[in-house]
Amino acid sequence: MVVPPEIKSAPSGELNWVFGKGPIRIVYYYNNIDIKEIPEITKFLAERYGGDKIEKGERIFLDGSKEIYAGKDIAELARALDERFDTTSVISIVLEDVTQEQLKEWGYPDAKLLPIPGK
């Protein structure tokens, strides 16, 4: 896959809201996770990336947590989650201000071109 040269690193993202200490960096949805596992997952992420837990809807935000962008860091997190919680990670990337047509031009597979709600 060819990544366009103008995309050097991922932006902070639309979840970069300030609740208290700082911007939200780590967030996860738990709608398909056993509710009994939520505290352990949250503790695991907070130990690695810091931040204070904020719950909103079916999401956990870590307010003021460390930000990660590098592919290596994301892969290490995925492997650590898979190992610790016996899961299979799926990594999704959301690019701001990019059209579906641009993604097709850049070689993204049609199966991965999901519309972003609200856009």
Q: Is residue 58, in this structure, part of any structural domain at all?
A: yes
Q: How many domains does the chain have?
A: 1
Note the pLDDT of residue 40.
95
The label of the residue with tokens 């060819």 reads 2
Q: Is residue 56, in this structure, part of any structural domain at all?
A: yes
Note the pLDDT of residue 47.
96
Q: Is residue 3, in this structure, part of any structural domain at all?
A: no
Dihedral of alpha carbons 47, 48, 52, 53, sign: negative
Note the pLDDT of residue 28.
86
pLDDT by residue, tens only, the chain of 119 residues: 333 333 233 333 333 333 344 555 788 888 888 889 999 999 999 999 999 999 988 889 998 899 887 888 888 999 999 999 988 887 776 677 888 888 888 888 877 777 666 55
Note the pLDDT of residue 8.
31
Q: Classify strands 59-63 and 52-56 as parallel, antiparallel or unpaired.
A: antiparallel
> Coil, helix or strand for 32?
coil
Q: Is residue 10, in this structure, part of any structural domain at all?
A: no
Q: Is residue 16, in this structure, part of any structural domain at all?
A: no
Q: Is residue 82, in this structure, part of any structural domain at all?
A: yes
Q: Is residue 89, in this structure, part of any structural domain at all?
A: yes
Q: Is residue 68, in this structure, part of any structural domain at all?
A: yes
Note the pLDDT of residue 17.
34
Range of the domain at 65: 24-112
Helix 71-85 to helix 38-49 angle, to the nearest 10 degrees?
150
